[in-house]
Amino acid sequence: MQDFSSVERGRYLATAADCGSCHTIPGSDHPLSGGRPIETPFGVLVAPNITPDRETGIGAWSDDEFDAAVRKGVRRDGKRLYPAMPFPYFARMTQEDVKDIRAYLSTIEPVHNPVAVNQLPFPLNQRMAMTVWDTLYFTPGEFREQPDKSKQWNRGAYLVEGPGHCGACHTPKTALGGDMPDKRLQGYTLQGWAAPDITSGQGPLADWSADDLAQYLKTGHNRFAAAAGLMGEVVELSTSKVSDDDAKAMATYLKGQSGPKPAADSAAESHVMAAGGAIYQDLCSACHKSDGSGVPNLIPDLAHAATVSTGDPTTVLRVILQGAQSVATDQEPTGPAMPAFGWQLNDAQVAAVATYVRNHWGKAPPVSEDEAKKERAQLDARTN
């Protein structure tokens, strides 16, 4: 007999874990049937079909086999999963929670969709290598509450470190793609976007309150920033759908994470700042205002938007060059977009305005013309 409360809990957890982001092709009418290419530093992986189709999905799997894949990174055939599947995070989930997710997945429409998942080049296509990787970077074991912390903090910790797998994007990785344990949540660049430092020490989120963070997770917007790109997708598919209490819990936990001082800035040259300032006043002030403060919940405040002042300029360059649409959510349906300026500004000008917005209000390192040029070339080569 189906346990409806179990299915409902599973649906909620699958949302919190953002399964759909990787396992559904955007815009597809067949959720979770796989086929979406996932960019990793080593090549492209394709997410498998996790609908209950017995042949091409996971319909024939036992609950234990499912649990082993989600929490241990071990496939039904005993081979090891690549960590594009964030099993090192999902390992923190309780067995009960994973069972609920399975219960939910058993209720969705089975889709016959064979997916060739492994498209990595040799030797990375040798899953044997993953055994070594696991030894280095994978720590099994469920999340354990810290009794000296509040219930809210512990709930947040579970969600962030477990199903939410925030560190999968926000934690710096080693050359082999494993998390650097001493740099948790301090920012990383992947799939053409710089995920900023989301610790709350002295980094870009220092001025954000827990409420700011919770509002950002729920609506994609707050008085400082707007989520776009990969984070926009995370908000749309996952965090906007968690409960207010859970969003607040995640925010509370993140606000409690200490982080490093941002790298000491090397001051930008004055002639670059002058050019950047001219471009800013002529093109950017119409939305971001002459003092950079923007419009709450509509236009980011450049002094406080984490992606602007984060060390790696990838996101700010990308957004200047090709524009970006922020996420639309039920509470904030507007989804305002930043226009592209790559057609209008040359590399030196892009670098100058990027340098200006990162330095005039913040202290992020200057951006070179060469970096702008490289980012432009990379974007031209991108298909998404």
| Chain residues in the site for other proteins (CB under 8 A) | 269, 271-272, 274-276, 278-279, 281-283, 285-287, 289-290, 295-299, 322-325, 328, 330-346, 348-349, 352, 379
Bridge partner residues of 226 (DSSP) = 221
Q: What is the Cα–Cα distance from 263 to 261, expressed in whole angstroms?
A: 6
Closest approach, Cβ 330 to other proteins, in A, equals: 7
Residue whose CB is less far from other proteins, 145 or 282: 282
Question: Are 249 and 156 within 8 A, CB to CB?
Answer: yes
Q: What is the Cα–Cα distance from 75 to 108, expressed in whole angstroms?
A: 21
What is the total residue count of the chain?
A: 384
Token digits of residue 324? 């970006």
Sequence-ordered list of residues with C-beta below 8 angstroms from that of 297, at least 6 positions apart, any chain: 219, 221, 222, 223, 226, 332
Closest approach, Cβ 26 to other proteins, in A, equals: 10
Closest approach, Cβ 326 to other proteins, in A, equals: 10
Instruction: Scan for tokens 């606000």, then name that residue.
Output: 255
Residue whose CB is less far from other proteins, 152 or 334: 334
Q: What is the Cα–Cα distance from 181 to 8, expressed in whole angstroms?
A: 34
Residue whose CB is less far from other proteins, 279 or 305: 279
Largest CA distance in the chain: 72
Residue whose CB is less far from other proteins, 30 or 75: 30
Closest approach, Cβ 170 to other proteins, in A, equals: 24
DSSP secondary structure, 327-343, as one string: PP-SSS----EEPP-TT
Bridge partner residues of 329 (DSSP) = none
Residue whose CB is less far from other proteins, 171 or 314: 314
Closest approach, Cβ 90 to other proteins, in A, equals: 29
Residue whose CB is less far from other proteins, 198 or 299: 299
First to last CA, the chain: 43
Closest approach, Cβ 325 to other proteins, in A, equals: 4
